[in-house]
Every structure is written in structure tokens, then in C-alpha cells.
Structure 1
Amino acid sequence: MPKSLIVDETTETPTYAKFTAQPLQRGFGHTLGNSLRRVLLSSLDGAAISSVRIDNAKHEFDSLDNVVEDITEIVLNLKCVKLNIHAEGPKTLEIVKDKAGAVTAADIVCDSTVEVLNPEQLICTLDKDKKFHAVIEVVNGRGYLPAEENTAPRTIGTIPVDCLFSPVTRVNYQVGAARVGEETEMDSLELEIWTDGRISPRNALEEAALILRDHLQPFMGSQVQEKNVVLTEEEERQFKMLSQDVEVLDLSVRAMNCLNSANIKLVFELCNKTESRMLKYRNFGKKSLDEIKEKIEKHGLELGMTLSDRLLAALEAEAAKVRADAEESN
């Protein structure tokens, strides 16, 4: 079994990374590689614009006298806007501009729970000083939802948009040979991940592994339950604190947005990360790190803390249950 995952830091970027896991029992390279690839491409959560309503536009084949592009081109440009939603439920946003020139994703009026990742993306071009107003709806989802299947109830004049939710654009894996001592019949798995910037390759791989683990949980029978009943008194105390939602830490909106973006839901998932690992998350800086350290230290916790195998197993089981419950409620 591989002890850890090796990341090629010389080639790593915010949208690309190469991972190597070895040694694996023969055959497990393809088993794990194919499973992770499928989950990465189809099952990660993402946000996308699901519909748009533009003032004075009756349908998607219409045109406006003050806009260079027709409505079809505007819809195609909106599909290219990359966003993250750090909150539950759909969000309704507006685009308002009354000066001639380019209308870009930077002109989308957002609150603190919505992040536009490519503000330079062109939406349309105004050729005269006349008001352009559009209302867009952004939703979270998985995979791909074509406009013709995007049938949520809407007001007249609202145009559905194809939703590409998946933040992973490409995954490639290769299986080679690995050697351990005199044992040569072992696998080495090399996994390459490309994303569109809404999530880092490291975070994408972590989420995919969690999804696989959660779906395998029912096949583990009573083993998880047995692990939950052997905690010591001190471990029980730690479990009560570490199994809580990170909201109990009363963090700032910016810090919470960073944790939501990293898919960190429980206190234990936060304390299980090292400082250097946290700083690799998108938009997570020293200020947010210091705030989190101060908050968790008040509870006698720290980043990168060592937990017993029993406690770690119990917390992982609890995290799997929380994610399963959240998925059912959605």
C-alpha cells in the first residue's frame, strides 16, 4: 500500500498537477485510476449560470439595437463565465451598464458569497451610451445539464443556459511498474488533473476520494460502528468538539468562504490540515490562517494535530454521514 501521495511540485500550477501513488497491488493501478478519473470528470460539485433574462430581449434569437452581439452570442459568452458559490441554493445576480464599451464578467453585481474567477470574460459590447440590464441565475450542480433539460419554472423572456458544472476539464492516468524489495509485480499509478480554476487539482482529487469513500461505506458492514464504541474518555471529549460544523468557530465571511471552497465542513477536517497545506488553497492567505489558528486554539486545538487511529476512524465515519445526509437533503 502507498504510504503517501507524491505531487510533482515542479510542474504544479493552480489548474494542473501530477500525482503518483505507489506501490499498489497488481491490478489496483487501473482499478483506482479509472474510478478516480470517472468521479473527477462527472461527480464534483460546481456552479454555473442556468438562465438569463435581458431587458427588451424576447427570445434567444433576438438582438438589441445598442449591443454589437446578438442574444445567442451573449448566451455563449455567459457559458464561459466561471463562478464559485459559497452558499446553499441558487443565486440571482444582475448585470447593469449604461456606458458604451465592453461588458465583462467583472460587471456582474455579486455579494460576498459569489466569486467570479474570470472577470475579464467578455459578455457583450455596447456601441452607445444606453442602459444594458440582465438578470442571471447561478446554481450548484454536478456534471452537465443541457439547456433543453433545464426546465425550472421561469418568467417569460428568461432564456435557459447550458450548465457545465464540473470544474475538472481533463484527467489522464497511466499505470507503470513499481518495485518493493524483491517484489516486482507491483503497480505505480500516475494521475494528471486539469481544472478550469474553480478548484485546484489537489482539492479536486481530495473531493473525488471522499466521494468514493462515502459510496463504499455501506460495504464496510459493522466495522465503522465497532470503531465508534472504543473511544477513551479523552477521545470522546475531542470527538464532541472535532465533529462539529466549522460554523461553531465563528469565523469571518472571508475565512468561511475559503473553507467552503476547500470543502472543509467539520472542525476535524480543518485540524487535520497543516499550515502549509491550508496556504495552498485558492484565496487563502496569512490573515485567514492566523484567524483560524486563533479560533481553534481557544478550543485547545491546532492545525496538523495528531489523532489516534480510533478517533480518526470515528471522525471520518461521522464526516461521511454528514456528507451523505447533505446529499440526501439536496
Structure 2
Amino acid sequence: MPGNVRRYGEESAKIIGRIVLDASFSPVRRVSYAVESARVEQRTDLDKLVMNIETNGVISPEEAIRQSARILVDQLSVFAALEGTEATAEAPSRAPQIDPILLRPVDDLELTVRSANCLKAENIYYIGDLIQRTENELLKTPNLGRKSLNEIKEVLASRGLTLGMKLENWPPAGLDK
């Protein structure tokens, strides 16, 4: 309630949970929302949030939502960082996340045809498969010489990867060869 609207001595101004302001500087004039049932294909157990936002023109309603969401995330991030909660205790038991670049096919490295064919002949289809091999293992591959090995090392280095890296839980479940 803006301070210029309240009346001094009015009992309604003393209600618990009400914050009395001297002035209203918010660019948001009015916000209303409704939660409605939504249907997507055969699913009818979904909800839809409908928001109506009126601003004074200083910022757009979309920007007001973005700023509000940013503030909410910042405020709630404190709870995500708490120690000693059950959620924190369960987190280490989850399977470690695998860098998405490791799940990409070797073809994405844009190697020469000779190098790519040699890797496929050795059943190396993903970048994660490749980085676990050592230089000596790759040099034993038929038709893959020092020049091809140097090319592979340069391409991997440009992506922050090297040969001989150790990966736990590789290959991940559901990865097709």
C-alpha cells in the first residue's frame, strides 16, 4: 500500500504481513495470474500459467518477468547450497555427468578421410572412445601413421582434450555403436 494512500491511525494499516511504503517506484502497475488446465496431445494432467502484467512503460512486461525470475533464482539458490540436507547426501550416488562433447561422433572432429576410416576400423565411433586410447594404441592401428596421429592430437587439443584420458562409466547406458 503506497504511503500517500494510507490514513494515519487506520487499523487496517497495522495488519500483520502488510508492508507500508512511503512511495511506489515500481514500474509494474498490476499483475494477475491464473492456473488453468492444459492438454498436450493425450495428456490432460498438465497446468498452464497465464499471467497479465501491466507496466508503466519503463520496462516491458517480458523484461519484468525476466528480472523477477532472475531474482527468484538468486534468492532460492541459497537453499540449493545448504549442507547437511538429504538432497546433498543423495547427490554423490548419482552417476557422474559426461561432457556432451564426448558423446559426439568422431566425424564431428572433421578429420581427414584416412584418419576417420582408421578410427572406424578400430570401432572408435565417439570422441569419448578416442580420448581413452593412448598414442601407442593408435599407432598400432593399420594405416594410421605419425602424421594422422598428430592431426588427431591437434584437433583434440583445440577442444581441450588429449589422448590417454581416463573416463569413468564409459560408455554411458544407451549409447549406440
Rg larger in structure: 2
The structure with the greater share of residues assigned to helix is 2
Q: TM-score, normalised by structure 1?
A: 0.25
Question: Which of structures 1 and 2 has the larger relative contact order (alpha carbons within 8 angstroms, sep 6+)?
Answer: 1
Q: TM-score, normalised by structure 2?
A: 0.45
The structure with the greater share of residues assigned to strand is 1
